[in-house]
Structure 1
Amino acid sequence: MTKQAVPETPASTSAKILYRPFGIASSVVGGLVASAIFKQVYKRVTKNSGADAPGPLQSEYLLRQVLVAAAIQGVIYAVVKASIDRAGARTFQKWTGEWPGS
C-alpha cells in the first residue's frame, strides 16, 4: 500500500518568513552531507582512495571523466537536498502546524 500525498494548504507569509532561516541552515547541512557522500562514492567508483574528483578546468583528465564525475555529483546533491528539504519542511510543519511551501 503506498502513501498518498496530502494536498497542503498554502503557507502563510509568516510561515514562509519563519522557515527561511531554517531552510538556509538545512541547505548548508545538505551541501556538506552531499559533498561527503560524493567524495566517498567517487573514491569507490574510481578505486583510488587518494584522488579528488576532476574539475572542468583540469586538463589532465578526459572530458568523459569530468562529465561522469559531474553527473554523479549532481545526482547525489539533488537527492540529498530534496531529502533534507523535505524532512525540514515536515519538521517545521510538526512544530508550527503549517507547511512552509507554496
Structure 2
Amino acid sequence: MGRAVRIAYRPLGLVLGMAGGLLARAAFDRTWRALAGEDDAPDAMDEGRSWGEVLGAAVVQGAVFAVVKAAVDRSGAVGVRRLTGVWPG
C-alpha cells in the first residue's frame, strides 16, 4: 500500500506545489511592501537599482519561498498520512 500511496501522491504534490507558488508570491509581495514600503521589488535587470537592493530582495524572496514550500509540502504529507496511515515521502 505504501508504494501505491506514494505514486498517487505525485499529482497531488504537483498541484500543491503550484498552489504553494501562488501563495509564496502573494506572501513575498506583502512582505516586500511591509519591509521596503514599495509595491515592486527590484529584480536583477532593474538598471536603476543598486546591487544591495537587488540582492536584498532576492534574499527575502528566497526565504519566503522556502518557508512556504516547506509548509505546503509538510502539510500535504501530514494530510496524506492522516487519510491513509502512510507517509508519502
TM-score by length of 1: 0.82
Counterparts of 2:46 and 2:37, CA distance in 1: 20
The percent identity for this pair of structures is: 38
Runs of 4+ in 1 over 2 A off after TM superposition: none
Shift in Å, 1:47: 1.4
Which blocks of at least 5 consecutive residues in structure 2 are unaligned? none
Q: Work out whether 1:38 is the aligned partner of 2:28.
A: yes
Shift in Å, 1:12: 3.0
Residue identity in the other structure for 2:46: Q
The aligned counterpart of 2:65 is 77
The aligned counterpart of 1:63 is 51
Counterparts of 1:53 and 1:47, CA distance in 2: 10
Counterparts of 2:84 and 2:12, CA distance in 1: 12
Mark the structure with the bigger radius of gyration.
1
Aligned-residue CA RMSD (Å)? 1.3
- Richer in helix (by share): 2
Query: Deviations 1:46-73 (Å, cap 9, x if unpaired)?
Result: 113xx31111111110011000000000
TM-score by length of 2: 0.93
Residue identity in the other structure for 1:98: V
Secondary structure of the 1:60 match is: coil
Residue identity in the other structure for 2:21: G
